[in-house]
């Protein structure tokens, strides 16, 4: 079978590897779609480590990695598998890890507790984002946002998902904040209560005059986190790996600003995502900026780096 392998910075090749064997508790999935985790894909492709560890990334990267969000069809099951049958549509809910084969491959073996069934109401393309959607949901589950004025800072895939999930959780307002007008327009299409370009003081004044009661930072950058901290009188959820230094001062303490402890995703988070998909409250397909074959991996990552796409979907072709 074929798979993508990043062998050096900005160099990805199509390689041929054996179809994986499966253990008794595993299924073999024929991959239909695998979406980028934009920050992760871009950093590895550029030769930068997302966790800022010396000596990383180590090339060649394992075949299929960093692909870790996929949907597909079960084509074989192990003898101990009880939850799935051949023909089931499934999506990943847990990454395979950076030392294992990733999901930019034609077939992948997965333990049955690391995948979930895809509802009939969801396309394969949309379903590939299940893992991210449930991780976002787990971060938000520590909040009670019913009736609150909220916002999401950073409108990548995670931010756009968080915005929709906050609405589904009953927030009275969900503002969308970014520095790119194109992302703000997309947020409006997905139902944002209002949008703010944080580089424009006159727009930022909206949350200076009426601070937020809860917010989510999904930028992965200190300046974005700082916007959330400075304009929220309540919990600020941090999603993703933040780079740089933000400041929490006595002023924030007096204002009641705090960062809640996150929890690990579980079956309830998966069920929540599946339910709001089917209620039409979550769209994970609209922000797919391109649908490309494995052979065009580099093209898709360049699109991400040039801000021409929020998320790219790859298929085996």
Which residues lie across from 109 on neighbouring strands? Answer: 28
Q: What is the pLDDT of residue 126?
A: 98
How crowded is residue 24: how many other Cβ atoms within 10 Å of its Cβ?
9
Domains of the chain: 2-129+284-315 (3.90.180.10), 138-255 (3.40.50.720)
The count of residues in the chain is 317
CA atoms within 13 A on the CB side of 92: 28
Q: pTM value?
A: 0.96
Res 49: pLDDT? 93
What is the per-residue DSSP string for 176-245? EEES-HHHHHHHHHTT-SEEEETT-HHHHHHHHHS-BSEEEE-SSBHHHHHHHHHTBSSBEEE-S--BS-
Cis (ω within 30 of 0) for the bond into 66?
A: yes
User: In this structure, are residues 130 and 121 in contact, taking their beta carbons and an 8 Å threshold?
Assistant: no
pLDDT tens for the chain, 317 residues: list them: 999 999 999 999 999 999 999 999 999 999 999 999 999 999 999 999 988 999 999 999 999 999 999 999 999 999 999 999 999 999 999 998 889 999 999 999 999 999 999 999 999 999 999 999 999 999 999 999 999 999 999 999 999 999 999 999 999 999 999 999 999 999 999 999 999 999 999 999 999 999 999 999 999 999 999 999 999 999 999 998 888 999 999 999 999 999 999 999 999 999 999 999 999 999 999 999 999 999 999 999 999 999 999 999 999 98
């Amino acid at each position: 079978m074929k798979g993508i392998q990043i062998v050096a910075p900005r160099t990805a090749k199509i390689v041929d590897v054996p179809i994986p064997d499966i253990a008794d508790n595993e299924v073999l999935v024929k991959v239909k779609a695998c979406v980028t985790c934009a920050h992760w894909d871009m950093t590895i492709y550029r030769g930068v480590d997302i966790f800022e560890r010396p000596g990383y990334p180590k090339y060649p990267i394992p075949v299929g990695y960093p692909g870790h969000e996929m949907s597909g069809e079960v084509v074989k099951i192990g003898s101990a598998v009880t939850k799935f049958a051949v023909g089931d549509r499934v999506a990943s809910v847990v990454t395979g890890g950076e030392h294992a084969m990733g999901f930019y491959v034609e077939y992948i073996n997965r333990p049955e507790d690391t995948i979930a069934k895809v509802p009939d109401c969801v396309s394969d393309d949309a379903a590939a984002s299940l893992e991210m959607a449930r991780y976002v949901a787990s971060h938000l589950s520590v909040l009670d946002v019913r009736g609150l004025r909220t916002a999401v800072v950073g409108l990548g895939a995670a931010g756009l998902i968080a915005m929709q999930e906050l609405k589904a959780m009953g927030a009275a307002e969900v503002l969308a904040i970014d520095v790119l007008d194109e992302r703000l327009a997309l947020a409006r299409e997905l139902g944002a209560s209002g949008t703010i370009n944080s580089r424009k003081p006159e727009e930022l004044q909206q949350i200076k005059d009426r601070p937020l009661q809860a917010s989510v930072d999904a930028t992965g950058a200190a300046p974005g986190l700082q916007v959330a901290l400075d304009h929220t009188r309540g919990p600020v959820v941090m999603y993703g790996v933040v780079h740089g230094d933000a400041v929490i001062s006595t002023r924030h303490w007096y204002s009641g600003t705090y960062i809640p402890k996150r929890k690990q995703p579980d079956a309830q988070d998966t069920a929540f995502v599946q339910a709001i998909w089917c209620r039409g409250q979550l769209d994970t397909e609209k922000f797919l900026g391109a649908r490309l074959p494995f052979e065009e991996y580099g093209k898709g990552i360049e699109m991400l780096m040039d801000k021409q796409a929020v998320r790219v979907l790859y298929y085996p072709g």
